[in-house]
């Protein structure tokens, strides 16, 4: 194994090693030195409540901004820009990577694209199918018949299976499709800097003003080619039909993205996103052998531009499907696998760390700060619920008579209980905001569902463990032992499959 591979393996082990180290150390301390463990738990609890309040405040701010901007007439704003910022030169290249999703999933996405206010002749659609899906060509024909005449250009691509150096990932398919689109763009002699590319999940439905919003931000940004543009993902397509806990998990996911949009120095692309086509070509497209292509593309840009690359938040939503199945157990499995795939983004740490070692132009402090942020977010994801829910009571359980006689043994449950109650207050804010983010209740859905929407928050302690920490620990442990995951598309429940 060469030096680079050894370093990469070491960086792959660090996040999981750190997460397990924290958990096992606290368990060990709870048994042999419960007082130290209790002090650490109280410290963590206090840190967590401060962090929760801080993040909830950011969520309120982001939510406020989203409410203010999501219905804005962005094209009108584009019209009002100075002449040198001519939006009409911009083409919108939209790629939908499709694997096993049928027309019932992709049709609403294309219909939403068709309903956008952006001039359709400036929209180039690429439906990127996987050749290994035996229904790919049949599905492509169905969609072509319905939508090919609706846009400036409509391409169907079929990504061959097993190309050298590729894994079965969404990024490989997207890159193949982007290269096919490049041929089309070259053929039409369209300048790359005039093309904005959006890579959307197959079930992504955009708002009518999406491309107006994207164009406006692109034209008004400083160094617009050195940025990715991140809309706010919501899971509204089938949210009223989805089971309670699946809905809750996805709402929490949307909220996390909203919070991240306020922390620009840490903001990384996630799921459906847009960027300059020129930049995409320059940084050699999405990675073809990594699952977390949506975030790695940002890091590729960051490394390529020596740290001068950022994510611009777009306060406009793109709506996707809540992942669920036809019973609670299968839904839990579907959700678990999706969250584990998201948590597989921990592979970014090794990618970024090895990239930083090669790059001499990014300042060391900047490198360390970004690596710390990455490590912090993944390790916190894996351990926080375990510490709060499972390790918290351990000093009392294992402390024995001596620990029980100490003031701290008496104060530990009191303080943690108080802090938890405080967290409940922030939960009320989250409940209120989750209500505000919902689409109107469709006909045929009982008003009683509104009450369920509130009551379902009682699942939170269960969810933070089962669909929070455990999938993250699972992903980190797999990466530690080099058991690399393959892309496994989520079962989407627009129509229950």
Binding site for another protein (CB under 8 A): 38-39, 42-43, 46-47, 50-51, 53-54, 57-58, 61, 65, 262-264, 404-412, 415
Compare residues 47 and 435 and give the one whose CB is closer to another protein.
47
Name the nearest CA neighbour of 56 among 482, 433, 468, 441.
433
H or E element, residue 127? strand 123-130
Q: Cβ 46 to another protein, closest distance in Å?
A: 6
Q: Cβ 416 to another protein, closest distance in Å?
A: 10
Q: Half-sphere exposure (CA, 13 Å, Cβ side) for 285? A: 19
- Collapsing DSSP to helix, strand or coil, 153 comes out as strand
Name the nearest CA neighbour of 107 among 146, 73, 54.
146
Compare residues 64 and 188 and give the one whose CB is closer to another protein.
64
Q: What is 194-236 written as a DSSP string?
A: GEEEEE--TT-EE-TTHHHHHHHHHHHSSSGGGEEEEEEEE--
H or E element, residue 431? helix 407-437
Compare residues 190 and 415 and give the one whose CB is closer to another protein.
415
Q: Cβ 299 to another protein, closest distance in Å?
A: 22
Compare residues 131 and 226 and give the one whose CB is closer to another protein.
226
Is residue 131 packed enough to be buried (19+ CB in 10 Å), middle (13-18) or exposed (0-12)?
Answer: middle
Compare residues 262 and 371 and give the one whose CB is closer to another protein.
262
Q: Cβ 78 to another protein, closest distance in Å?
A: 18
Compare residues 10 and 264 and give the one whose CB is closer to another protein.
264
Compare residues 18 and 39 and give the one whose CB is closer to another protein.
39
Distance CA 224, CA 255 (A): 26
Strand order through the sheet with 310-319: 153-159, 123-130, 91-98, 195-199, 273-276, 227-234, 310-319, 205-206
Q: Which residue has the tokens 């390529």?
A: 304
Q: Cβ 412 to another protein, closest distance in Å?
A: 7
Residues 6+ apart with CB under 8 A from 134: none
Q: Cβ 79 to another protein, closest distance in Å?
A: 22
Q: Cβ 71 to another protein, closest distance in Å?
A: 19
Residue 92's beta-bridge partner residues?
A: 123, 196
Give the tokens for residue 98.
């499709």
Residue 165's beta-bridge partner residues?
A: none
User: How do 123-130 and 153-159 pair as beta strands?
Assistant: parallel
Compare residues 46 and 432 and give the one whose CB is closer to another protein.
46
Compare residues 13 and 53 and give the one whose CB is closer to another protein.
53
Q: Cβ 52 to another protein, closest distance in Å?
A: 10
Compare residues 57 and 252 and give the one whose CB is closer to another protein.
57
Q: Cβ 394 to another protein, closest distance in Å?
A: 16
Name the nearest CA neighbour of 254 among 319, 324, 323, 348.
319
H or E element, residue 276? strand 273-276
Compare residues 53 and 153 and give the one whose CB is closer to another protein.
53
Q: Cβ 34 to another protein, closest distance in Å?
A: 13
Residues 6+ apart with CB under 8 A from 218: 90, 196, 224, 227, 229, 276
Residues 6+ apart with CB under 8 A from 482: 9, 12
Compare residues 407 and 446 and give the one whose CB is closer to another protein.
407
CB atoms within 10 A of CB 442: 11
Q: Cβ 213 to another protein, closest distance in Å?
A: 14
Compare residues 58 and 465 and give the one whose CB is closer to another protein.
58
Q: Cβ 199 to another protein, closest distance in Å?
A: 24
Residues 6+ apart with CB under 8 A from 249: 335, 339, 463, 467
Residues 6+ apart with CB under 8 A from 75: 87, 117, 118, 209, 212, 215
Q: Cβ 311 to another protein, closest distance in Å?
A: 12
Distance CA 441, CA 149 (A): 33
Distance CA 294, CA 268 (A): 9
């Amino acid at each position: 194994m060469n030096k680079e591979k050894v370093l990469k393996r070491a960086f792959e082990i660090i996040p999981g090693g750190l997460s397990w180290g924290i958990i096992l150390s606290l368990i060990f301390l709870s048994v042999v030195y419960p007082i130290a463990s209790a002090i650490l738990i109280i410290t963590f609890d206090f840190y967590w409540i401060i962090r929760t309040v801080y993040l909830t405040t950011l969520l309120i701010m982001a939510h406020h901004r989203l409410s203010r901007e999501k219905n804005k007439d962005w094209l009108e704003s584009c019209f009002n820009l100075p002449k040198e910022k001519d939006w009409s030169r911009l083409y919108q290249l939209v790629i939908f990577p499709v694997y096993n999703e049928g027309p019932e999933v992709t049709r609403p996405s294309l219909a939403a694209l068709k309903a956008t206010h952006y001039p359709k002749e400036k929209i180039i659609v690429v439906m990127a199918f996987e050749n290994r899906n035996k229904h790919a060509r049949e599905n492509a024909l169905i969609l072509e018949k319905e939508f090919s005449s609706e846009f400036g250009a409509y391409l169907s691509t079929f990504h061959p299976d097993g190309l050298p150096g590729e894994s079965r990932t969404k990024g490989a398919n997207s890159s193949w499709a982007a290269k096919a689109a490049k041929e089309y763009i070259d053929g039409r002699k369209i300048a790359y800097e005039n093309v904005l590319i959006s890579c959307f999940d197959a079930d992504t439905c955009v708002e009518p003003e999406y491309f107006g919003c994207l164009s406006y931000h692109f034209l008004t940004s400083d160094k617009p080619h050195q940025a990715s543009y991140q809309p706010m993902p919501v899971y509204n397509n089938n949210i009223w039909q989805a089971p309670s806990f699946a809905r809750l998990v996805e709402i929490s996911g949307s909220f996390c993205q909203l919070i991240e949009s306020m922390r620009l120095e840490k903001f990384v692309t996630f799921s459906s996103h847009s960027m300059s086509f020129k930049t995409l070509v320059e940084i050699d497209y999405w990675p073809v052998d990594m699952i977390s292509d949506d975030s790695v593309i940002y890091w590729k840009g960051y490394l390529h531009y020596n740290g001068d690359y950022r994510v611009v938040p777009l306060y406009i939503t793109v709506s996707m499907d809540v992942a669920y199945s036809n019973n609670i157990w299968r839904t839990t499995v579907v959700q678990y696998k999706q969250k584990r795939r998201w948590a597989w983004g921990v592979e970014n740490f090794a990618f970024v760390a090895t990239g930083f070692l090669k790059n001499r132009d990014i300042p060391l402090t900047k490198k360390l700060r970004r690596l710390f942020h990455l490590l912090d977010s993944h390790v916190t994801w894996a351990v926080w619920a375990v510490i709060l829910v499972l390790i918290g009571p351990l000093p009392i359980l294992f402390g024995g008579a001596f620990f029980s006689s100490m003031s701290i043994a008496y104060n530990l449950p009191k303080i943690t209980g108080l802090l938890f109650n405080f967290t409940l207050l922030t939960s009320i804010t989250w409940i209120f905001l989750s209500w505000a983010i919902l689409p109107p209740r469709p006909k045929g859905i009982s008003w009683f569902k509104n009450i369920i929407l509130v009551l379902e928050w009682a699942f939170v302690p269960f969810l933070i463990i089962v669909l929070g920490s455990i999938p993250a620990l699972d992903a980190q442990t797999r990466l530690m032992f080099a058991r690399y995951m393959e892309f496994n598309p989520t079962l989407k429940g627009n129509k229950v499959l």
